[in-house]
Amino acid sequence: MSALFTGVNLLELSTIDSTNNYAQQLIRSGNFIEGTIVWAHEQTEGRGQRGKSWDSKQGDSLTFSLLYRPVFLSATWQFRLSMAVALGIVDTLNELTNEQVFKIKWPNDIYYGDKKVAGILIENSMQQGLISSSVIGIGLNVNQQAFDPELPNPTSLALCLGRGFELKELLLQLCDTIERRYLQLKADRIAEIQEEYTSKLFKLGQQVKFLNNDAEIVATIKGVNPQGKLVLEDATGKTTDYGLNELTMLL
């Protein structure tokens, strides 16, 4: 299957500061085609979550941004888009192995075992309480064999699966599976998305250590609530929902 509109307009660049920055400029120019992909073979200032940088070796990995207009989503439900995108990536990766080995580390890192293989940086613009446009930046480590020793736990598809991948082929497959999840979201099939996202959560049902406002807690991951908060159960059986800035998982 190939995507209907995602990646049909594919802008392939050799070097750029950040594909998310380039995509933001397209939005500012006022007229972008929904589903446009900005793909760069090299980023000089790749951006990660929480102000961190995102490094990848030139030509070895996928760094791209996807532009959508999710005007059907209110600002309150931004996490739904994040769930759909993470699921779309995991769909492609699990298709490569025919096993459900790739997981989503809440909120939206993609993991293989205890290692991170992909990251997502979504930047939404709002108008009258709705998401008028979304830049979905994805960094997927594909053929890279070595990483900066400073990085906590990186890996690549090649290291995980023992073979190399053709970048463009993989990109087009991602366009297809992400678009399917996006259309599922647009069709308001939220319960399915939330259920599938939960079933693919890294360490679901397991006891994990977290840092919660400087205190270490141990709790079992139960799932996510509709706002995207992580639901944890403590030793007494009490469940609490935690927001993005309240938790760091300690691996």
Residues that bind ligand BTN (CB under 6 A): 18-20, 43, 46-49, 52, 54, 63-65, 109, 119-121, 137-139
**What are the Cα distances from residue 111, in Å, to 36, 66, 115?**
26, 21, 5
157 within 8 A of 89, measured Cβ to Cβ: no
Give whichever of 19 and 155 is closer to ligand BTN, judged by the CB atom.
19
Task: Report the residue number, 70 or 137, with the smaller CB distance to ligand BTN.
Answer: 137
Dihedral angle computed from the Cα positions of residues 70, 72, 74 and 77, in that order, rounded to the nearest 10 degrees = -70
Q: Is the dihedral of CA 215, 220, 221, 225 positive or negative?
A: negative
Q: Is 35 helix (H, G, I), strand (E, B) or coil?
A: coil
Instruction: CB nearer to ligand BTN: give 92 or 219.
Output: 92
Tell me the residue nearest to ligand BTN as measured from the CB: 119
Side chain identity at residue 162, one-letter code: G
Find out whether 63 and 43 touch, Cβ atoms under 8 Å. yes
Residue with Cβ nearer ligand BTN (26 or 138) = 138
Please identify, using beta-carbon distances, which residue of 48 and 158 lies nearer to ligand BTN. Answer: 48
Q: How far apart are CA 115 and CA 227, in angstroms?
A: 26
Greatest alpha-carbon pair distance for the chain in Å reads 54
Minimum distance of ligand BTN from residue 15's CB (angstroms) = 13
- Closest distance to ligand BTN from the beta carbon of 126 (Å): 20
